[in-house]
Amino acid sequence: MNIQSNSWLMSRRTLIKGLGATLALPWLEAMSPNAKKITTAGSMADGEIPRRSMFTYWGLGLEIRGFTPTDTGKNYTMTPSLAPLAPFRDDMTVLTGLKAFSGGHGSCSCLLTGLNTIRNAQTLMSVDQQIAAHHGSSTRFPSLVLGTVRETGFGGPTPMTLSWSRNRTPITPENRPEVLFEKLFGSENNTTLAAAKQALAQRGSLLDSIKEQAATLQRNVGKEDRARLDQYFTSIRDLEDRIKVEGEWIDRPKPKVARPDFGSHSTRERIANDGRGYSEYTRLMFDMVALGFQTDSTRVVTHIPRTEGDEARCFGYKTNSKWDLHTLTHHNEQEDKLVFWRQIDALYMAEWAYFLGKLKSVKEGHGTLLDNTMAAWGTTNGGYSAHDSTMLPMILCGGSALGLKHQGHLVQKDVPLANVWQTVVSRIGMPLPTNFQGGVATGVVKELI
């Protein structure tokens, strides 16, 4: 073994073949060029571990007074709403007082874009897709776009996606963990691989044909129709981008991961009116995200675990609340409603704590998967009734190995949400895009870096 040249050094895409299986390895210390020998891997080089980001949106926000700590700094006193996150207090910063361009119903589109709302017809690229473009085809899936419903809501009163492509079109979320697992880790053989290649070629050929026909049509229609065709071409460019990345990865084996028990029916469909099944479903979605990160199948994820429709019915089977979450937000200072709302906040926060626990349980380099992932709990539903664009809460978690310096509770009165994303972008190591967040961002949150 030539230790000086590290001839034994393992590649990220090293494959182990045996017993008829092919396994794509997760990130190992033995892959580091700093390793001296294979049995004592040593530390990874700076910047070598993938820099990941996770953005979530929680519809209808939370009861802000019950959530907000009364003191600031690293030794702040946790509120009951935050109590489920106690094991991670050193891994996160609670930010309060933030603002967004738009808040309340139908405002999730501006969370990651700065300006996109149903009210102003803006269509800017979202920060997650900018980060995905920065990573390029480093992973099989440049990003994962997830939610509890499989629609964008585009054109309607309630958007259902956080992600907007570089061509400024909304990206449809996936809401089925069992389908997501097959996408990430589904079995492949020569027959299925050949079929996939054929399908990919057919999609490319079909797009070429559509483009030719649309270009011909565009020369023979009026001004308004040409504008509509321009939008159509934009959607085609998004598909072409996806086909290009798929083509680069199609011959590379997927990681082999044990398939969870999803049952015989879609887990999404098993959520009952009183909220039973919601926790199981949500945790399976978070499990898929953690596996996607751990196997370096993706480095960017957006997820809406709870829409403004409140499909989980507020954990009614646990709280016995007779009100849905939206009704509770219009509490008119009725104490019984506020009590239920705070109880519900803690139950939903336990789902986020589960996800953080999954990331923290995976060792990576000298730290954990959580240390190398910036995961944001966010919303654009602020204020006392969770219908305002101000007094917004955010919980920025993980990322310590990427340079985030957590501050406990940090008040950021009237600071744009976009500043938090500019901070995340700085830790990713990507250049700040032109007109970032539509010019809403005013800088980084200096306390965090």
Side-chain half-sphere CA neighbours of 348 within 13 A: 31
Q: How far apart are CA 415 and CA 442, in angstroms?
A: 8
Is-contact 386 306, C-beta < 8 A?
no
Query: Are residue 240 and residue 327 in the same domain, yes or no?
Result: no
Per DSSP, 44 falls in state: P
CB neighbours of 198 closer than 8 A, spacing ≥ 6?
none
The whole-number pLDDT of residue 223 equals: 65
The whole-number pLDDT of residue 444 equals: 98
The whole-number pLDDT of residue 314 equals: 82
Alpha helix (H) residue ranges in 219-314: 223-249, 278-294
C-alpha torsion sign, points 290, 293, 296, 300: positive
Residue 96 placed within a domain: yes
Please give the structure tokens belonging to residue 414: 């009237």
Is-contact 260 284, C-beta < 8 A?
yes
Query: Are residue 16 and residue 125 in the same domain, yes or no?
Result: no
φ/ψ (deg, to 5) at 232? -65, -45
Residue 183 placed within a domain: no
Alpha helix (H) residue ranges in 304-378: 316-319, 325-329, 335-360
Query: Are residue 389 and residue 282 in the same domain, yes or no?
Result: yes
Per DSSP, 45 falls in state: P
The whole-number pLDDT of residue 228 equals: 61
Residue 128 placed within a domain: yes
- Is residue 316 helix, strand or coil? helix
The whole-number pLDDT of residue 33 equals: 52
**What is the secondary structure of 177-229 as a DSSP string?**
HHHHHHHHH----HHHHHHHHHHHHHHHHHHHHHHHHHHHHHTTS-HHHHHHH
- Could you tell me the mean pLDDT of each successive run of 10 residues in the chain, 449 residues long? 40 37 44 45 60 96 97 97 98 98 92 88 91 92 95 84 91 94 77 60 61 66 65 62 63 82 83 90 95 95 90 83 92 96 97 97 92 98 96 98 97 98 97 95 97
Query: Are residue 344 and residue 432 in the same domain, yes or no?
Result: yes
The whole-number pLDDT of residue 57 equals: 98
Query: Are residue 271 and residue 364 in the same domain, yes or no?
Result: yes
Query: Are residue 273 and residue 343 in the same domain, yes or no?
Result: yes
Query: Are residue 38 and residue 61 in the same domain, yes or no?
Result: no
Which of 252, 286, 304 delimits the end of a domain?
252
Number of domains present in the structure of the chain: 3
The whole-number pLDDT of residue 17 equals: 35
Query: Are residue 427 and residue 293 in the same domain, yes or no?
Result: yes
Which of 230, 252, 274 delimits the end of a domain?
252
Residue 223 placed within a domain: yes
- Segment holding 398, helix H or strand E: strand 392-398
CB atoms within 10 A of CB 38: 15
Give Rg (Cα) of the chain: 23
What is the pairing mode between strands 144-147 and 300-306? parallel
* Domain containing residue 125: CATH number: 3.40.720.10
Query: Are residue 444 and residue 340 in the same domain, yes or no?
Result: yes
Query: Are residue 143 and residue 195 in the same domain, yes or no?
Result: no
Residue 260 placed within a domain: no
- Helix crossing, 127-135 with 417-428: angle to 10°? 10
Query: Are residue 141 and residue 278 in the same domain, yes or no?
Result: yes
The whole-number pLDDT of residue 348 equals: 96
Among candidates 362, 422, 433, which has minimal Cα distance to 396? 422
Exposed, middle or buried: residue 35 (CB in 10 Å: 0-12, 13-18, 19+)? buried
Query: Are residue 60 and residue 44 in the same domain, yes or no?
Result: no
Residue 202 placed within a domain: yes
Which of 222, 252, 282 delimits the end of a domain?
252
Residue 259 placed within a domain: no
The residue range of the domain holding 5 is 1-48
The whole-number pLDDT of residue 36 equals: 44
Among candidates 56, 289, 281, 302, which has minimal Cα distance to 181? 289
The whole-number pLDDT of residue 227 equals: 62
Residue 258 placed within a domain: no
